[in-house]
Chain A
């Protein structure tokens, strides 16, 4: 099992966090993982991205050029990374704010209405978790239980009350792509 992933979006959309949660979850499940953020000038001007590898084997390169999965939370990320999905790979598009369709035909594309899901839960911050849910449903890379364990670790006990909300966002994200899975 090897998943190479690029998570990309605006700063503030939580793409680095969901990438990290995936890495933690993989580690909790005994897999080899790496999480590499873009830093410096790449991040300025509003886009942030991270490369995440989850693998049964030791992680060779943590730097991902061609990825099994690209998660695009905004339009610039889709424009930049659509070409970086491996043939047969998966592309996740935040359809709430990206009005464009994917142009590739050799990959599986999933449209996830992240912002609408977040709005339905009355919390604009959990759009990233909806996207992570969609990713988990389509890839089964890790279990969502492990992701929630990771989130609890990141939040700390004081903010443990936020777990159910995030769990709901993950579940709605999963549901949103169920009929898109081929």
Chain B
């Protein structure tokens, strides 16, 4: 298929539809409005359902309902709106249901700004709502990758019966890049025997629930979740390594920032300094082993994490590297997107220190 120049948000919406998503519930917020706008135009034409809910809280609970009925369902929002969805996401995780939540991160805390940010890393990867749960969190760094990851997102959600988050910054949403919609191989997915589709006496009753009054029963559910998370950590890590071989400095960044780092790496290269990049594509599960292996190379002297945050992913980087070599952080909380020149300057300066 020929390439199309598409805005990130629109491409993500189209990719979701092509991945079989037929239900979308959302509430407007910048910078992700092009997703519901696109869905509102397309869903009625393909027999799907687009519904603008009265609030984010309502939207995520509609997602809960559609997921319980076995549908491929998605919602999208941006940071403050995603905060509102957290209770529902926790319930969906507890009820062991698949769905996709898209967060086009903007500056925070509070209403913050509408400019790009990466301040929701903790919320996305550490739980966000109450209880011991994780989402699988996919962090694209281009429009094409966002499109490709949408297929993974719905499949992973079904395989592990868990909410999956596509975590992107506002740049991915607003930028236009060429995209190709590939035919994706249809994975063998587990049958949704648990779905509540109307009981006609031909199977055991399905009950969707996240309330377990008995300690033992709640324990059993939590053990099931933890076993699943362990399996996800073993099997589903995705990471890009860029020029890491023989590098002196390793930069760790995700999303659009990782691409700015690639430009910074070229600037360092021009000055004769070899810098590599480790870019987590899944930020949960975090590519701990992969990062550690790169850092263990004798050529590597230190690591620098770059984020539009006060250093949230940097905590996972530190846990992974665990004191093996020095680490540094460059970035600001809020919405300031660092330039390639600033990042290169920091790398060169830190290296000499």
Contact = CB atoms under 8 A, between A and B. Distances in A.
A40 B111 CA distance: 14
B193 interface: no
Contact of B5 (A23, A62, A63, A66): A23
Given A61-B263, A63-B256, A63-B260, A40 B175 contact: no
B337 A63 contact: yes
Contacts of A40: 30-31, 113-115
Contact of A63 (B3, B113, B178, B339): B339
A6 to B, nearest CB: 13
A95 B339 CA distance: 30
B176 A65 contact: no
A36 B175 contact: yes
Interface string B199-227: 00000000000000000000000000000
A62 B266 contact: no
A33 B339 contact: no
Interface string B254-281: 0010011011001000000000000000
Contacts of B177: 33-35, 59, 62
A23 B176 contact: yes
Contacts of A24: 5
Contacts of A36: 171, 174-176
A35 B174 CA distance: 9
A27 B114 CA distance: 29
A36 B175 CA distance: 4
A39 B263 contact: no
B171 A32 contact: no
Interface residues of A, number: 20
A33 B179 CA distance: 11
B340 interface: yes
A90 to B, nearest CB: 19
Given A23-B5, A40-B31, A62 B256 contact: yes
B341 interface: yes
Contact of B175 (A32, A35, A41, A60): A35
A27 B260 contact: no
A20 interface: yes
A37 interface: yes
Which of B31, B113, B171, B175 has the most chain A CB within a 10 Å cutoff?
B175
B178 A62 contact: no
Which of B3, B5, B174, B262 has the most chain A CB within a 10 Å cutoff?
B5
B66 to A, nearest CB: 31
A39 B175 contact: no
Contact of A27 (B3, B31, B259, B266): B3
A-B complex: 9 closest residue pairs judged by Cβ atoms: A65-B339, A60-B262, A61-B263, A35-B176, A61-B260, A60-B263, A40-B114, A36-B175, A27-B178
14 contacts: A23-B5, A23-B176, A34-B175, A35-B175, A36-B174, A37-B174, A40-B31, A40-B115, A61-B260, A61-B340, A63-B340, A65-B341, A66-B339, A66-B341
